[in-house]
A and B are shown apart, each in its own frame.
Chain A
């Protein structure tokens, strides 16, 4: 039995990797990024999978056993709110505490005047990013961490102790989870490591989106220098968590750096020149990057096409998957494109029809991975996820 499961794992790994190298496998791999959907399927609330990572792991494994998927993320809910609570992070809406127990966790961006980094603090960030994060940023995002110069406290000390031990415990648990996915269901862990663009992270966690909108106009040199200062750190973090076997890609989560959040001019001035070299560096180390293009990044396909062949896998959310295939299909594998609204409100026959159109349109020569457009939450119907899976297995054989 164990031998059969290992055979299945190797078969799926080969299928998944072959498609990601933009080649043609035996059949279309299925790699759904299922988050709160796993809770719904396994009978848990969103609170349970956010606050108790063992339940999140169990839910992911139950789906992996019951659905014929080649690869999944070990825990796509990912944020363990027990950990964020231990650190005292202020920017989460935690299910069951801040929001209803049956809603996925939320990021709460502060108003512009309460941004976690002030507009006159760019030089501190540029001079010493790690020091700035510990000394300035963390005390602002944590309810427990004391600011520099303030008296320390019991809560301050505990935040580091509990936060550090909890983070280590959580990260170490992924090793066992990946092994169980492999031995219980022959399922591949889909990604390893994390990457965000310097420009995106400044908006997400430092200046806020509105703050950065102001900064690109009022202090563009500082914004560019800050992006450049973050580049080596984001590269280092990405490579540190990458798959040592160089099979699965580093996950790159794309947020608000695209048109229309910013202009094309700003994308080309700030975002792309400080991100493209990171991807090139990572590819020089032999790792692919999964561009998880949340929203619609179609305006920037020409820029992405500048990257070396096979360097990335491009995931389509609300973009036009046929346009993406035309622009990038010769160079890169594409994934996704099945709308989440359809999985939530449609019927199985409608899902099958949509999958057929996508497969016919972009998967003919391989280089395609079946997935929903965006991370699948608990609004998706089980029968529609099953329809997406079963249809792809029936129709997606080369």
Chain B
């Protein structure tokens, strides 16, 4: 999309994984699993506010 703005919080994201991972200790297990679950649940926060704006 030509006119897309570069925001610090992209679509679908409330707290970016890159920001969250800095708060965590060294991940000794499956880092991708932690990242995926963080992003999937974070996306629900995004859905909440944008659906409030658009649908309700």
Interface stretch (choices A130-138, A207-215, A369-377): A130-138
How far apart are A53's CB and chain B's nearest CB, in angstroms? 12
Cross-chain contact A232 with B5 (CB below 8 angstroms): yes
**Chain B residue with Cβ nearest A195:** B54
Q: Which of B7, B10, B44, B50 contacts A133 (CB 8 A)?
A: B50
Residues of B within 8 A of A278 (CB): 1
Q: Is the CB of B5 within 8 A of A126?
A: yes
Which residue from chain A places its CB closest to the CB of B55 in the assembled complex?
A194
A14 lies within 8 A of chain B by Cβ: no
Q: Is the CB of B1 within 8 A of A130?
A: no
* A240, B55: Cα distance in complex, Å: 14
User: Is B11 an interface position by the 8 A CB rule?
Assistant: yes
Given contacts A79-B56, A194-B54, A236-B12, contact A130 B3 (CB under 8 A): no
**Contact partners of A83 in chain B: CB under 8 A:** 56
Q: Does A220 interact with chain B (Cβ within 8 Å)?
A: no
- Which of A78, A89, A164, A274 lies in contact with B3, CB distance below 8 A? A274
Please state if A164 and B48 are interface contacts (CB–CB under 8 Å): yes
Give 5 closest A-B pairs by Cβ, nearest first. A236-B11, A229-B5, A232-B4, A228-B3, A133-B49
Give A residues with C-beta under 8 Å from B.
78-79, 83-84, 87, 89, 126-131, 133-134, 137-138, 141, 163-164, 167-168, 194, 196, 201, 205, 225, 228-229, 231-237, 240, 273-274, 277-278, 281
- Given A87-B52, A129-B9, A228-B4, 5 more contacts at CB 8 Å? A130-B50, A133-B49, A233-B50, A234-B54, A281-B1
B-side interface residues toward A, CB under 8 Å? 1-5, 7-14, 44, 46-56
